[in-house]
Amino acid sequence: MNNSRLTIAQYVDGLASGDRIVLSKAITLAESNLPNDQILAGQLIEQIMPRTGNSIRIGITGVPGVGKSTFIEAFGNTLSDDGKKIAVLTIDPSSQLTKGSILGDKTRMQSLSKNPNVYIRPTASGNILGGIANRTREAMLLCEAAGFDVIIVETVGVGQSEVSVRNMVDFFLLLMLAGAGDELQGIKKGIMEMADAIVITKADGDNIQHATKAQADFQHALHLFPARSSGWSPVVSTSSSIENKGIAEVWKLIKKFQTKTSESGFFEQQRSEQNVQWFKEYFQQLLVLDFQRNEFLQNAMAKLSVSVREKLTSPYSAAQQLLAEYHKLIRES
Amino acid sequence: MNNSRLTIAQYVDGLASGDRIVLSKAITLAESNLPNDQILAGQLIEQIMPRTGNSIRIGITGVPGVGKSTFIEAFGNTLSDDGKKIAVLTIDPSSQLTKGSILGDKTRMQSLSKNPNVYIRPTASGNILGGIANRTREAMLLCEAAGFDVIIVETVGVGQSEVSVRNMVDFFLLLMLAGAGDELQGIKKGIMEMADAIVITKADGDNIQHATKAQADFQHALHLFPARSSGWSPVVSTSSSIENKGIAEVWKLIKKFQTKTSESGFFEQQRSEQNVQWFKEYFQQLLVLDFQRNEFLQNAMAKLSVSVREKLTSPYSAAQQLLAEYHKLIRES
């Protein structure tokens, strides 16, 4: 693995020239769990920071079956027609086990993947408990440094990954199906509260009436929520990806959001708060990394694991002992 | 909050006598983010450890709409008829934002909640990045100490929480709908690989044929996976919660699993490995707790946050500085 690594300067130069092979390698580096790779990735991110932040960052979520891929295809092609360069980062929460879905991701977003203005990259959802955090934020920054104007982060619409994606994007878009019933869609109040816009998908053919009804229902439901600190009132619209209807309108809406919240100062303020959040998360990653890199502590952990496995020590007491070892080591260093 | 805390002895005695109010208070203590509560909870878990492990731990998952609540109602009542005391722990991944779904959990599992042999408790999914881990494992152990024979952990069927639940239960059950299409169900290969059994729900009325077809399809799909280290071949069956069909069969199957894997030694071996995993997770929680309890470090973090917010320091560099402060502090202590 390591011999495919570039130098920091090579990564920085490659990104600056928009080299997609270098971009892909840089994201792979950021996603690596090897301690040395993580250090290199940290230095790389630090170096490219001045070249980041110039895109609009859009999170898109919705339950499986809502038509995320086809929506993103149509949306991405619309952005491309508007002269934008688009990076699509897809997060698969179950990929940590098998690195791929049973259906295969290859067939998804076929036309978009052929568009020269578009870069598509699946990213692992990560598992902080195993010391591996989600690196989507890093991937996003690397895409910005490579010159992309719009970053789309796609995530499956149930659960924890939405919260972490919401915390790294400017605009959060929720896709919903008409008439599928709230329960089937599994959309919780919490996810609706995070959305800057809701788009009812598949508003075509016999489904138009249902979609218009759902639009009114959701708009009504959103009125029951308290006003946003952004000053932005979330909008509900309908779209048809196959008929390419309502797609350009979503892009217009997002541009309006950007203008409005930039004027009010919210746009920058939200990014600042997201950076603070990132600092805290990154610190926790460093704590874990610090530990992983230490051979003595790794040995102590392995010995305590044997002891726990043989029921000589409880998990709780073993953890306390390991913490004591860690403190002792730092004191003696 | 703190004045509602009991002493360790009071918790231990209350749990030993199966007092449900004490059990609920103990779970609340384990879920608390207050450092003092976390220390108390750790001591409590350590004390009750000898009284844990005597239940069968069952994880149940499936996408929203598959009928988890009605299945668990029927299943729980079947277990109760078999003379078992059942604890149901439900995990809601979106609860961290709003503490509740828009539909309201009160109406779920109504008949089961009235059964005197059953204890139902929702648990937060947690957010390790915020220093708050999922406390389902602790809740499970507390229920065992309170004398429950069967622990059911229910989780929404997409994503990360499945992996963590799989790592704390003996038997993992996946509920699936017939004819909903793989994509709509959002079930990835990884989740199927974790399942010890798949139950096709809603196999009643016009849906029976679809369910039987789906059963054959899934059984076939499972054959394509490699053999399990447990030596157990996952089973696919059908059920109807409203007609109470195929429910007792699932319970029989789980008992068969327990007998078979206990004989082979896998049952205990899996629990030992889960304890090792718990030790490692708990250590990471202790690291974070250690940090949270230190006023000097909390102040340093607050100052660095301001600096990040004002763009004087990058998130990466701020994290490095905070780690240096932490090391310095331990060295000087």
Placement of tokens 């009643």 in the chain: B204
Residue A12 lies in a domain: no
Residue A108 predicted with pLDDT over 60: yes
Residue A169 lies in a domain: yes
CATH for A255: 3.40.50.300
Instruction: Please give the pLDDT value at position B91.
Output: 78
Mean pLDDT of chain B, nearest integer: 85
Where would I find the H helices in B32-135?
35-48, 68-81, 95-98, 110-113
| Tens digits of residue pLDDT in B180-211 | 555 445 556 677 888 999 999 999 998 899 89
Residue B141 lies in a domain: yes
Residue A183 predicted with pLDDT over 50: no
CA–CA min distance B248, chain A (Å) = 26
Interface TM-score (ipTM) > 0.95: no
Residue A7: φ, ψ to 5°: -85, 165
Instruction: Please give the pLDDT value at position B160.
Output: 60
Instruction: Please give the pLDDT value at position B49.
Output: 93
Say if residues B152 and B80 touch (Cβ distance below 8 Å).
no
B153 - beta bridge partners? Answer: B59, B89
- For chain A, the distance separating the N- and C-terminal CA atoms, rounded to the nearest angstrom, is 31
Closest by Cα among A113, A184, A118 to A148: A118
Q: Please check whether residue B322 touches A, CB under 8 A.
A: yes
Say if residues B321 and B313 touch (Cβ distance below 8 Å).
yes
User: In the structure, what pLDDT confidence band is assigned to residue A144 with cuts at 50, 70 and 90?
Assistant: very high
Is A14 strand, coil or helix? helix
Q: How many CB atoms lie within 10 A of CB A324?
A: 12
Q: Does residue A300 sit in the same domain as residue A209?
A: no
Instruction: Please give the pLDDT value at position B188.
Output: 63
Q: Does residue A138 sit in the same domain as residue A254?
A: yes
Q: Does residue A310 sit in the same domain as residue A196?
A: no
Is A178 strand, coil or helix? coil
Q: Does residue B77 sit in the same domain as residue B134?
A: yes
Task: Give the structural domain span for A151.
Answer: 53-264
Q: How many CB atoms lie within 10 A of CB A7?
A: 10
Is B153 strand, coil or helix? strand
Q: How many CB atoms lie within 10 A of CB B261?
A: 20
Placement of tokens 């390419």 in the chain: A244
Is A208 strand, coil or helix? helix
Q: Please check whether residue B106 touches A, CB under 8 A.
A: no
Instruction: Please give the pLDDT value at position B26.
Output: 96
pLDDT (mean) for A201-218? 90
C-alpha–C-alpha distance, residues B201 and B231, integer Å: 26
Reported as half-sphere exposure (CB side, CA atoms, 13 A), residue B193 has a value of: 18
| Tens digits of residue pLDDT in A53-67 | 999 999 998 877 788
pLDDT (mean) for B113-126? 83
- Decide if B319 and A283 are in contact by the 8 Å CB cutoff: yes
- Decide if A100 and B282 are in contact by the 8 Å CB cutoff: no
Residue B288 lies in a domain: no
Q: Please check whether residue B208 touches A, CB under 8 A.
A: no
Where would I find the H helices in chain B?
8-16, 20-31, 35-48, 68-81, 95-98, 110-113, 136-145, 160-166, 182-185, 189-194, 208-223, 247-264, 266-292, 295-309, 315-332
Residue A148 lies in a domain: yes
Q: Does residue B202 sit in the same domain as residue B314?
A: no
Residue A113: partners with Cβ closer than 8 Å, 6 or more residues away: A120
Reported as half-sphere exposure (CB side, CA atoms, 13 A), residue A238 has a value of: 20
Instruction: Please give the pLDDT value at position A308.
Output: 95
User: In the structure, what pLDDT confidence band is assigned to residue A157 with cuts at 50, 70 and 90?
Assistant: low
Q: Does residue B304 sit in the same domain as residue B248?
A: no
Residue A89 lies in a domain: yes
- Decide if A318 and B187 are in contact by the 8 Å CB cutoff: no
Residue B35 lies in a domain: no
Q: Give B302: exposed, middle or buried? Use CB within 10 Å, 0-12, 13-18, 19+.
A: exposed
User: In the structure, what pLDDT confidence band is assigned to residue A168 with cuts at 50, 70 and 90?
Assistant: very high
> Could you say which of A186, A275, A316 has the minimum Cβ distance to residue B64?
A186
Least confident range of A71-75, A139-143, A177-181, B292-296: A177-181
Residue A270 lies in a domain: no
DSSP letter at B245 equals: B
CA–CA min distance A2, chain B (Å) = 23
C-alpha–C-alpha distance, residues A228 and A239, integer Å: 25
CA distances from B36 to A263, B45, B294 (A): 44, 14, 12
Chain B residues 246-275 with CB within 8 Å of chain A: 272-273, 275
Q: Does residue B191 sit in the same domain as residue B310?
A: no
pLDDT (mean) for B3-9? 85
Q: Does residue B96 sit in the same domain as residue B185?
A: yes
Q: Total domain count for chain A?
A: 2
Least confident range of A115-119, A320-324, B174-178: B174-178
User: In the structure, what pLDDT confidence band is assigned to residue A268 with cuts at 50, 70 and 90?
Assistant: very high
- Decide if B93 and A160 are in contact by the 8 Å CB cutoff: yes
State both tokens at B180: 């909903």
| Tens digits of residue pLDDT in A293-332 | 888 999 999 999 999 999 899 998 999 999 999 888 888 8
